[in-house]
Amino acid sequence: MESISVSHSETRIARLSPALVNSVYLWGARFSRNQLLLAQESVYLQRAVQSVSRSSNTVHNFLTGEGPDVFGTALFALHAKAATLFERAARLMSQWTANLAYSEQFATELFTLDGAIDRFIASLPPVHLHLDVDVARKLIITHTLARDATIKVQAAMKQVTGMPSDKDVVAAQAIAAMLDNTNIGSLNYVDPIVAIVWSDICRVLSGEAARLRLLWSSTSFLVDQAGAGRELQRIEADHNRLGVAMQKVLAAMTTLANTCPLTAVQAVKVQQEMENAAR
């Protein structure tokens, strides 16, 4: 936890990827036309390939939970993990088609990734426990990417398995709660990607609200009016909570609109979509 509370130390311990460094050396040797350097091409190539192989194994171990965690818990490491999960989830979601021949293997990959995301989220420190603005800002993007990875995985899993799940809604509500417990105004700015992701969060909440409205309509016609009344109250309460969560996310986006114009644009789009859906 010490590495989380001392954000400026990250710049001192950050290192370039060995694979990148050796690739630069390789290209430098190739374009230098220096015979002494050209003679080292095979060495740099071998080092670059070995570095990529080690990096691939590290990512594999992180995603599957196998082997030691070499990433660490510094802020930049947590951000890298969240970005890895986010990218993997987005890639898997984009690969799904109804005619996928290897759907069983695809489902296994989704379940494995879902487990990795759950483990990672459970390891994250809460944003509101850190008063340092830089720490809070970095933790917000880390939590946001991780929760959106859950949403993307759940979207794909619903397509593959056909089974309902509320993990995407729970993830969206968790982001709303995080933003509500954070002094967003003190951040001044955030990574612009949150404008896109928070918009997706609102759409998940809005989609669930629309589902509940349909459920409310069908439940109101039940013969058992006493049972229907209790169910309608539950549905209405859940619907209201979703509305509150959406407003929390939109409030955060509006607060950051001056320093992050993309959040202002996305907030307007989301509000228009919500108004159209409510008609």
What's the pLDDT score for residue 66?
61
For the stretch 210-213, contacts whose Cβ atoms lie closer than 8 Å and that sit 24 or more positions apart, written own/partner, are 210/277, 212/238, 212/239, 212/242, 213/239
The pTM for the full model equals 0.74
Give the Cα separation of 18 and 16 in Å (integer): 6
Of 127, 233, 102, residue with least CA distance to 187: 127
Measure CA of the first residue to CA of the last residue in the chain; give whole Å: 48
Give the Cα separation of 232 and 242 in Å (integer): 15
Instruction: Report yes or no: 246 and 207 within 8 Å, Cβ to Cβ.
Output: no
Instruction: Report yes or no: 116 and 64 within 8 Å, Cβ to Cβ.
Output: yes
Give the contacts of 227 (CB within 8 A, at least 6 positions apart).
Answer: none
Of 128, 265, 114, residue with least CA distance to 199: 265
What's the pLDDT score for residue 12?
40
Query: CA angle, 76 as apex, 73 and 79 as ends, to 5°?
Result: 90
Helical H segments across 124-260, by residue range: 133-161, 167-180, 193-219, 225-255
What's the pLDDT score for residue 3?
44
Backbone angles phi, psi at 217, to 5 degrees: -65, -45
What's the pLDDT score for residue 32?
67
Does an H or E element contain 126, and which?
A: none
Of 158, 124, 129, residue with least CA distance to 144: 124
Instruction: Report yes or no: 248 and 176 within 8 Å, Cβ to Cβ.
Output: yes
What's the pLDDT score for residue 113?
93
Query: CA angle, 205 as apex, 203 and 210 as ends, to 5°?
Result: 90
Question: Which stretches of the chain drop beneath a pLDDT of 70?
Answer: 1-27, 29-34, 37-73, 98-102, 130, 222-227, 278-279
